[in-house]
Structure 1
Amino acid sequence: MDMQLKDRGAVVTGASAGIGRGIATCLAREGVRLAVVARREAALTEFADELVAQGLARPAVIAADVTDDAARETVRAKAEQALGQVDILINSAGGRRPSGLTATDEEWDVAMTLNFIAQRKLTTRFLPAMRERGWGRVVNITGKSEPTRVSGEFCAKAAMHAWSKGLSREVGPDGVTVNSIAPGRILSEQMLRNYTDADRAEHVKEIPLGRYGEPEDIGRLVTLLASPLGGYITGTVIPVDGGLRRYQF
């Protein structure tokens, strides 16, 4: 199927590994012109080389920490310089930080910034041009809405869902869609680092499809949501989790 994405310009954050890298790979295969963003420049360059080795176009590499205000403006400027225009923004950067019941205010601030505030502020840098052109796509990679404990990360993901829904209503008349994807257990660098083989074997028992997901399982849905073919989908939270979640979204 032609996803009608050839030569669209896209920014993908968190693209040095895991889900972000899988998303960028799927978009590159559809002919999307990419700017890949992460803190680790060496990992981004390695990824760019891999895409070229597959016969795909080399993405623009932007080494930046999107939790920093000045860095976010640098991302916008460099992406627009490299791509001409940014039609698609994929907010895939995020991470886990200590922020439980006894966490300090500073730890809570870090968790909220990493998983909500940075994404919101980066999006506002690209939205005006999308709205002016009458076409744009924002896809946020979030997380589950079933908190098992007090966590700044879970609270930030819930904030992302509420903000994305509200934003979709504001910018829909301008041809811009905003959606969220809530991944389940995805086999990524972070999962390999944080869990043992035994842990992951136990996780699989909870997944109806009987396996971990792959980053490109997320990437394929992102590709649809980013395409003209997904233009009537907005304001959603879509789980990609092999049936793991027990509730409606």
Structure 2
Amino acid sequence: MDLQLAGKVALVTGASVGIGRGIARVLAAEGCRLALLARRRPLLEAVAAELPASAAPLVVAEDLTDPDAAPRIRDAVLGRFGRCDILVNNAGGSRGQPPGELGAEDVWQEAMELNFHAARRLTHALVPAMRAQGFGRIVNVTGPDEPLAMNPANAPNGATHIWAKALSRELARDGVTVNSIPPGIIRSEQIDQRVLPTEEARRARAEQVPAGYLGQPEDLAVLVAFLASPLARYITGQVVHVDGGARRASA
């Protein structure tokens, strides 16, 4: 299937490792030109070096939690490519707490800033350009809505889903769609180093997944590519889980 993505411009946040890197590689393979955003420039440059020349990768080293970052990022992307067709809000992170602890105030504030406000500001900065060109795809990589324990990152996930639904209704007639993807356990730097740091832990968690294994970044990236395509024009305001069947609720 031709996803009709050749020549489209995609900005992927959190693109230096894991899911973001996988998304960038899949979009580049489909013919997109890429803007890669994260804080660690050397890692971004390594990702850019992996991409085909047709991706014409732009490396943007910015901290999204800086309230002034969004207009700088917008100007860098539009200045280089003249447009932005696809925004993948992938930057974020879990903030799991030790058993019995509720989390300090600064942890809650930081989690909301990183996992909600940063993506909201960047999206709002790029929406006018998408509206003007009559095409846009916004895909938010969020997180599970079935919390197993206290985690300040869960609340921003819910906030993102509600904001994205409202935004999808606002932009639908402008040719701009907005969807969210909560991943299950996808192999990434965060999962491998913090959540499941040993092979034993990974095997134990895989046994809890109906599919029987932990996902790879490309398992999620293929859905991002489809939702980012012109073919997905009638899919908006949705939350689509990619978790190997781990989510227990049916809706």
Tell me which interval the TM-score lies in, with the shorter structure as reference length: over 0.9
Other-structure match for 1:116: 116
Other-structure match for 2:250: 248
Say whether the 8 Å CA contact 1:65–1:71 is kept in structure 2. yes
Other-structure match for 1:207: 209
Say whether the 8 Å CA contact 2:94–2:151 is kept in structure 1. no
Q: CA deviation at 1:96?
A: 2.3
Aligned AA for 1:145?
D
Q: CA deviation at 1:192?
A: 1.1
| TM-score in terms of structure 2 length | 0.94
Other-structure match for 1:223: 225
Say whether the 8 Å CA contact 2:33–2:54 is kept in structure 1. no
Other-structure match for 2:74: 76
Other-structure match for 1:42: 42
**Which has the higher mean CA deviation after the structures are superposed, 11-20 or 104-113?**
104-113
Other-structure match for 1:191: 191
Q: Give the SS at the match of 2:3.
A: coil
List alignment gaps of at least 5 residues for structure 2. none
Identity fraction in percent: 49
Deviations, residues 37-96 of structure 1 (Å, cap 9, x unaligned)? 0000000001111114xx653310000111112222211111111111001100000012
In structure 2, distance between residues paired with 1:99 and 1:175: 41
Other-structure match for 1:15: 15
1:150 aligns with 2:150: yes
In structure 2, distance between residues paired with 1:191 and 1:81: 35
User: 1:53-202, aligned counterparts within 5 Å?
Assistant: 56-97=54-95, 101-194=101-194, 195=196, 196-202=198-204
**Which has the higher mean CA deviation after the structures are superposed, 69-78 or 38-47?**
69-78
Q: Give the SS at the match of 1:94.
A: coil
Question: 1:155 and 1:214, CA in 2 relative to 1: closer, same or farther beyond 3 A?
Answer: same
**Which has the higher mean CA deviation after the structures are superposed, 224-233 or 146-155?**
146-155
Deviations, residues 149-189 of structure 1 (Å, cap 9, x unaligned)? 23220001011111111111111111110000011111111
Aligned AA for 2:234?
Y
Q: Give the SS at the match of 1:239.
A: coil
In structure 1, distance between residues paired with 2:114 and 2:96: 12
Q: After TM superposition, which residue ranges in structure 1, 4 or more long, deviate above 4 angstroms?
A: 98-101
In structure 1, distance between residues paired with 2:241 and 2:96: 24
Q: Give the SS at the match of 2:34.
A: strand
User: How many residue pairs are counted as aligned between the two chains?
Assistant: 247
Say whether the 8 Å CA contact 1:25–1:51 is kept in structure 2. yes
Other-structure match for 1:233: 235
Say whether the 8 Å CA contact 2:96–2:150 is kept in structure 1. no
In structure 2, distance between residues paired with 1:26 and 1:144: 23
In structure 2, distance between residues paired with 1:90 and 1:115: 13
Q: CA deviation at 1:129?
A: 1.1
Q: CA deviation at 1:98?
A: 5.6
In structure 1, distance between residues paired with 2:97 and 2:214: 26
Say whether the 8 Å CA contact 1:99–1:111 is kept in structure 2. no
| TM-score in terms of structure 1 length | 0.95
Aligned AA for 1:217?
D
**Which has the higher mean CA deviation after the structures are superposed, 191-200 or 15-24?**
191-200
Say whether the 8 Å CA contact 1:35–1:83 is kept in structure 2. no
Question: 1:98 and 1:182, CA in 2 relative to 1: closer, same or farther beyond 3 A?
Answer: closer
Q: Give the SS at the match of 1:209.
A: coil
Q: CA deviation at 1:104?
A: 2.5
Question: 1:130 and 1:57, CA in 2 relative to 1: closer, same or farther beyond 3 A?
Answer: closer
